[in-house]
Structure 1
Amino acid sequence: MPLLVVAEPRQIRQFLDLPTQLYRNQPNWISPLDHEIESVFDAAKNPNFQHGEAIRWILTDAGGTVIGRVAAFINTSTPQADSALPVGGMGFFECIDNQDAANQLFEACRAWLMERGMAAMDGPINFGERDRFWGLLVAGFTEPNYGMFYHLPYYQQLFESYGFQTYFKQYTCYRSVTEPLHPRFAQIAETYTREKPEFRFAHASRRDPDKLAADFHHVYNLAWANHSGVNPMSLEKARDLVQQMMPVLDERLLWFGYHKEEPIAFFLSLPELNQIFKHVGRTFGLLGKLRFLWERYKFNRRQPKRMFGLIYGVAPAYQGQGVDSALLGHSHKQLIAAGYTDIEMNWIGDFNPRMLAVTRSMGARICKTHITYRKLFDENRVFERSPIIK
């Protein structure tokens, strides 16, 4: 089965087209946008190329039909949980139900990474941030949220038969927005309002994107940047993210907590964009953009209307003080008033039991499970799962 490095326009098109063939009978599959996949592999658009490199392949049968694809990458700036175990990444895997074909793709990644000094590979992951294209879907084969892949059920067997082991599980949780929160959320919110005037909770303003970016940047680096595998964020990158969100941003979904005007917590959500993009298609040229505007107009006026919980965090100095409960208590009525009926939250790793407990306290339940696998190249080495966040 010939394995080809993706280098020419025709091969890029074959890489992008393969999922359409594999998922043609899967009614819940929603294709990612072609240009967003391509931007991962474009050094001019992906800043991770400043500290790493990437390669991708397509696999064909004897007749030249593409039957698989995969990518491998290294990023020397990504924090490692164990400095003695340099880990690379593989992702964007798609394949027919054939273990030999899958093994050939996995072996290509392993060999390329070993040549560059890696001792293990995680996958399927992204050559970028964890908020998209991360993990293998193994349960909850419903429509994917924007930025996440839908996978065929047999992929799990392909990974595990090759020797991948579960590094961590990723849980996507769901709740009805209109379902009441436990009364203690409102009680804690009222306590903060009445007894702690130095704290305030408010949603962001579209009219001040610089403040939104600065507040997000500040809380993100306090709450998340010290986690294994998560890089600190520059203010410039935060501004870029806000600019990217502006066409779809609903300010009523972007909530911050402040102490003496210092941002200390956030709960940031977006309209669930795949509920729009599933009507638009893979390409986003002029016609795609016009269709997007029309579908967004319809989305904003229909029910049920789903939102996506993008990121949630509290600065460490304020954790355990009820700030998170107060933030949710203040935001809940506003979310209902904005017309949202359902929320699925960005995945939470099983290495983060505290966040999972907060999610359960909100009345949310697990609706999807992804797995980030790890393959040790030295089979005699003791396998260890992702460290638990204390």
Structure 2
Amino acid sequence: MASSPITIRPVRTGSDRKTFVDFAWEVYRDDPCWVPPLKDEVHGLLNPRKNPWFGHGRAELWLAERDGKTVGRISAQVDDLVQVHMEPGTGQWGMFEALDGEAAAVLIATAEEWLRGQGMTKAIGPISISIWDEPGLLIQGFDEPPLVMMGHHRPEYRAWVEAAGYGKAKDLYTFELDIRIDMLPVIDRLIRAGEANPRIRIRNVDKSNFARDSAIILDILNDAWSDNWGFVPLTDAEIAYAGKKLKPIIVEDLVKIAEVDGEPVAFMMTIPDLNEMIRDLNGSLFPFGWAKLLWRLRKVTTRRVRVPLMGVRKSHQHGRMASQLAFMLIEFTRRVCVDKYGINFGEFGWVLEDNQGMMSIAQLPGAGINHTYRIYDKAL
């Protein structure tokens, strides 16, 4: 018996937007590894009045329906900064979820048609909503819940995306490591030499001056990552917005800034796995979720931590000091995690597959790739 046709409609009302966000609960209701995101955060991501990304980007959202039931969703977006820093004519799609291949095909085709109408000649995805949010499709590592700020997807999605004519643009890796394992002797000697160097200072972030320190960190990030594939700089408004969102989950002695001759030149941000704290909230902070989360944020009790961001200024990326600073940041944080908080496992990444510097740093003793995310592209 033939299935009923798919209808696509754009998200226009508050009710539509609620359906768009809530649809993920339908897709993953039987998946034990999915962590329900905080709905307020997802709504904020998609809200032009809240998310400063919309200062340089525009997006459209759609719902797919069959017999009046939602069977899929997708976004398409054009970022003016992508046109400058990546490749002119490149549009993106993301926020992709579907219950079957037919819905997936119609959704992707709808996103492509909108991108063509915006003058785009190439589509990359999934990216939800920017490279700084949740990039890539999970293609390896389905049997483990993702850590904070990383996505989780159905295994079927890969075949559905590739059936739409997409090929690999880049793979992104996350590395899991047992942080109880000491550094290799050659790395340990490099760290000890750095500790003895009076020019180098590793300090904790100062939450009482968090606006200052978050601006320092994100300025280093913009410089350090500027030559990476897919890089789009964070604007001043986005830096302020990111700092405000990150402050509640920042633990001062897990976020470190490296100074050389008094100048901040490198940083490493380590955060507790917020997913462990919010998993039982089912996406809602009301009526009691706020109180539970605030209580849990009072001290570090998570089983794992994640390093989502790390960078060394380009002026210091060549030569021995770049590796020295990176390994000092890692080791100083490792000691705090193990000795103070009793945390034994961490995740590092995402790391671009061809970023040789970061790939070499990520190959620490006891480390291995635990998730692979793929960004696809297609000529339109």
Superposition TM-score, scaled by structure 1 size: 0.89
| Higher mean C-alpha deviation, range 319-328 or range 170-179 | 319-328
- In structure 1, what is the equivalent of residue 3 of structure 2? none
- In structure 1, what is the equivalent of residue 124 of structure 2? 122
CA positional deviation for 1:285: 3.4
Matched AA of 2:362: T
| Higher mean C-alpha deviation, range 50-59 or range 286-295 | 286-295
- In structure 1, what is the equivalent of residue 162 of structure 2? 160
| Higher mean C-alpha deviation, range 102-111 or range 206-215 | 206-215
Distance 2:215 2:42 in 1: 28
Alignment of 1:316 onto 2:317: no
Alignment of 1:23 onto 2:23: no
Matched AA of 2:281: V
- In structure 1, what is the equivalent of residue 176 of structure 2? 174
Matched AA of 1:300: V
- Residue 234 to residue 156, structure 1, CA distance change in 2 (3 Å): closer
Kindly indicate whether the alpha-carbon contact (under 8 Å) linking 2:92 and 2:124 is maintained by their aligned counterparts in 1.
yes
Aligned-residue sequence identity (percent) comes to 24
Kindly indicate whether the alpha-carbon contact (under 8 Å) linking 1:52 and 1:73 is maintained by their aligned counterparts in 2.
yes
- Residue 125 to residue 82, structure 1, CA distance change in 2 (3 Å): closer
CA positional deviation for 1:22: 1.6
- In structure 2, what is the equivalent of residue 56 of structure 1? 61
Alignment match of 2:16 (pick from 11, 19, 29): 11
Matched AA of 1:22: V
Distance 1:179 1:275 in 2: 23
CA positional deviation for 1:362: 5.0
CA positional deviation for 1:203: 2.0
- In structure 2, what is the equivalent of residue 386 of structure 1? none
Distance 2:312 2:371 in 1: 24
| Higher mean C-alpha deviation, range 44-53 or range 254-263 | 44-53
Give the count of matched residue pairs.
369
- Report runs of 4+ in structure 1 exceeding 6 Å deviation: none
- Residue 104 to residue 123, structure 1, CA distance change in 2 (3 Å): same
| Higher mean C-alpha deviation, range 52-61 or range 319-328 | 319-328
Distance 1:52 1:201 in 2: 37
Kindly indicate whether the alpha-carbon contact (under 8 Å) linking 2:39 and 2:284 is maintained by their aligned counterparts in 1.
yes
- Residue 238 to residue 8, structure 1, CA distance change in 2 (3 Å): closer
Distance 1:332 1:122 in 2: 36
Alignment of 1:270 onto 2:265: no
Distance 2:167 2:188 in 1: 42
Alignment of 1:74 onto 2:78: yes
- In structure 2, what is the equivalent of residue 253 of structure 1? 254
Distance 2:206 2:172 in 1: 31
Listed as ranges, the gaps of 5+ residues in structure 1 are 378-390
Distance 2:30 2:61 in 1: 26
Listed as ranges, the gaps of 5+ residues in structure 2 are 1-5
Kindly indicate whether the alpha-carbon contact (under 8 Å) linking 1:213 and 1:235 is maintained by their aligned counterparts in 2.
no
Matched AA of 2:300: N
| Higher mean C-alpha deviation, range 327-336 or range 27-36 | 327-336
| Aligned-residue RMSD, C-alpha | 2.0
Distance 2:241 2:165 in 1: 39
Alignment of 1:305 onto 2:306: no
- Residue 57 to residue 235, structure 1, CA distance change in 2 (3 Å): closer
| Higher mean C-alpha deviation, range 258-267 or range 72-81 | 72-81
Kindly indicate whether the alpha-carbon contact (under 8 Å) linking 2:139 and 2:158 is maintained by their aligned counterparts in 1.
yes
- Residue 65 to residue 86, structure 1, CA distance change in 2 (3 Å): same
- In structure 1, what is the equivalent of residue 334 of structure 2? 332
- In structure 2, what is the equivalent of residue 45 of structure 1? 50
- Residue 161 to residue 122, structure 1, CA distance change in 2 (3 Å): same
